[in-house]
């Protein structure tokens, strides 16, 4: 048996015992109870995004990790005559650029420094010279650094210029209030093991039905075909291919617990409290953050390695790990840093405990 640990990562996260307990019962993938559960999840996700079927929005669940969900959208929605604009300021934007190359999509990449946010202004300027762009994709919470891109402002530019807006809200959805309509988002992608606090196994896409329908017949893979996956779920409530049954049962419970906590606003508040305890504690220990505070989100924070030449991240990580606290390595191109997440079933007192252990091992 693996030692009980708290995960201060961008996911998979610490989840509640009751979420995990739902997985103690096998369930058939074509069973009515399972089908009902999938439907409940779809409905609940729409509500969390402040949209509804009546408004013309739909939800698709896709097996695999969040990246599978992103690729499902990118490789299904961008037609041969479409042009995708990728707004990139980190590893997750670059990942989408890789997909665009593999799928031979017409695309542009506008790159920003990884310690700067994407701006609506730069996006609009680019569109002036590139009216051929039909779709724009941007990461909300760039986990590479932890910054938040200004999705609402970029969404407004998309709507003004009539572009389809795809948002990778992987590590933010459920931990940040998001109204898809107000934010001008046409496709929002996140995954089961992020701020909803479920276990890994699938991604989900909340999207405008009229745009989803345009993807019919243009998927570039069978498994990741977004339209067909949706059509399959609509036809008989079943997945086309074996779903991660137990992850899905756990996710329904996670949604219930999100509601019991007080919904997204309450969860956002808890995560922000976690972050403020972390900021204060780490600052007192002399750690400096990579990003300037105005663009730093409350999901995950990058801390620079201390000046001390004797600092060894692997040793630091191991010592924390042995005490039951799992942090996350860095992913920056420019500088050495490590990351600490504020999300999952962790509370301000857990962050205090982490700070105490960091103090101890330094």
Shortest reach from residue 282's CB to its own copies, in Å = 20
Shortest reach from residue 36's CB to its own copies, in Å = 10
| 336 belongs to the binding site for its own copies (CB under 8 A) | no
| 28 belongs to the binding site for its own copies (CB under 8 A) | yes
- In the sheet that holds 202-208, the strands lie side by side as 57-63, 202-208, 187-191, 164-168, 135-139, 84-88, 107-111
| 71 belongs to the binding site for its own copies (CB under 8 A) | yes
Shortest reach from residue 11's CB to its own copies, in Å = 7
Is residue 100 within 8 A of residue 273, CB to CB? The reply is: no
Q: What is the DSSP string of 205-224?
A: EEEEHHHHHHTTT--SSSTT
Instruction: Considering the complex, state which of residue 262 and residue 329 has its C-beta at the smaller distance from its own copies.
Output: 329
Shortest reach from residue 21's CB to its own copies, in Å = 7
Residues 94-113 that bind its own copies (CB under 8 A): 95, 98-99, 102-103
Shortest reach from residue 61's CB to its own copies, in Å = 12
> Would you tell me the crossing angle of helices 91-102 and 66-77 to the nearest 10 degrees?
40
| 63 belongs to the binding site for its own copies (CB under 8 A) | yes
Is residue 63 within 8 A of residue 241, CB to CB? The reply is: yes
Shortest reach from residue 335's CB to its own copies, in Å = 20
Query: How many residues are listed for the chain in this entry?
Result: 362
CA distances from 198 to 51, 184, 288 (A): 22, 27, 31
Q: Which stretch binds its own copies (CB under 8 A): 76-84, 109-117, 286-294, 326-334?
A: 326-334
Q: Which stretch binds its own copies (CB under 8 A): 42-50, 92-100, 105-113, 176-184?
A: 92-100
User: CA–CA separation, 126 vs 148, rounded Å?
Assistant: 21
| 64 belongs to the binding site for its own copies (CB under 8 A) | yes
φ, ψ of residue 308 to 5 degrees: the values are -45, 115
Is residue 228 within 8 A of residue 240, CB to CB? The reply is: yes
Q: 86 has which bridge partners? A: 109, 137
| 144 belongs to the binding site for its own copies (CB under 8 A) | no
| 237 belongs to the binding site for its own copies (CB under 8 A) | no
> Would you tell me the crossing angle of helices 313-322 and 348-361 to the nearest 10 degrees?
130
Instruction: Considering the complex, state which of residue 329 and residue 333 has its C-beta at the smaller distance from its own copies.
Output: 329
**Where do the H-state alpha helices sit in 142-300?**
151-160, 209-214, 226-236, 245-261, 263-284
Interface pattern 181-220 for its own copies (x via CB under 8 A): ----------x-x-----xxx-----------------xx
| 14 belongs to the binding site for its own copies (CB under 8 A) | yes
Q: What single DSSP character describes residue 157? A: H
| 283 belongs to the binding site for its own copies (CB under 8 A) | no
Contacts with its own copies by CB under 8 A lie at: 1-2, 4-5, 7, 9, 11-15, 17, 20-21, 23-33, 63-68, 71, 75, 95, 98-99, 102-103, 191, 193, 199-201, 219-225, 239-247, 249, 321, 326, 328-329
């Amino acid at each position: 048996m693996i030692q009980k640990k708290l995960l201060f990562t961008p996911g998979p996260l610490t989840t509640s015992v009751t979420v995990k307990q739902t997985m103690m019962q096998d369930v058939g993938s074509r069973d009515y109870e399972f089908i009902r559960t999938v439907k409940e999840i779809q409905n609940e996700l729409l509500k969390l995004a402040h949209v509804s079927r009546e408004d013309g929005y739909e939800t698709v669940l896709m097996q695999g990790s969040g990246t599978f969900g992103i690729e499902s959208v990118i490789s299904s929605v961008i037609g041969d005559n479409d042009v995708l604009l990728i707004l990139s300021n980190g590893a997750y934007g670059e990942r989408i650029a890789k997909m665009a190359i593999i799928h031979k999509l017409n695309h542009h990449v506008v790159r920003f420094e990884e310690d700067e946010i994407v701006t609506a202004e730069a996006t609009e300027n680019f569109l002036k010279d590139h009216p051929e762009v039909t779709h724009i994709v941007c990461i909300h919470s760039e986990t590479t650094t932890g910054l938040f891109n200004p999705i609402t402002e970029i969404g407004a530019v998309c709507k003004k210029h009539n572009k389809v807006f795809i948002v990778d809200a992987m590590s933010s959805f459920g931990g940040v209030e998001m109204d898809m309509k107000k934010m001008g988002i046409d496709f929002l992608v996140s995954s089961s093991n992020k701020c909803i606090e479920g276990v890994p196994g699938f991604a989900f896409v909340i999207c405008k039905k009229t745009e989803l329908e345009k993807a019919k017949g243009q998927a570039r893979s069978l498994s990741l075909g977004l339209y067909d996956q949706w059509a399959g779920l609509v036809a008989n409530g079943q997945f086309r291919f074996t779903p991660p049954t137990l992850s899905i049962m756990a996710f329904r419970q996670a949604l219930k617990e999100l509601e019991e906590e007080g919904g997204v606003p309450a969860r956002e508040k808890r995560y922000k409290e976690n972050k403020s305890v972390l900021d204060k504690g780490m600052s007192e220990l002399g750690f400096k953050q990579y990003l300037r505070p105005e663009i730093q989100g409350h999901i995950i924070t990058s801390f620079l390695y201390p000046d001390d030449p004797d600092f060894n991240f692997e040793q630091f990580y191991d010592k924390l790990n042995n005490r039951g606290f799992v942090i996350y390595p860095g992913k920056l191109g420019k500088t050495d840093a490590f990351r600490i997440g504020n999300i999952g079933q962790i509370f301000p007192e857990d962050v205090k405990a982490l700070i105490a252990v960091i103090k101890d091992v330094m």
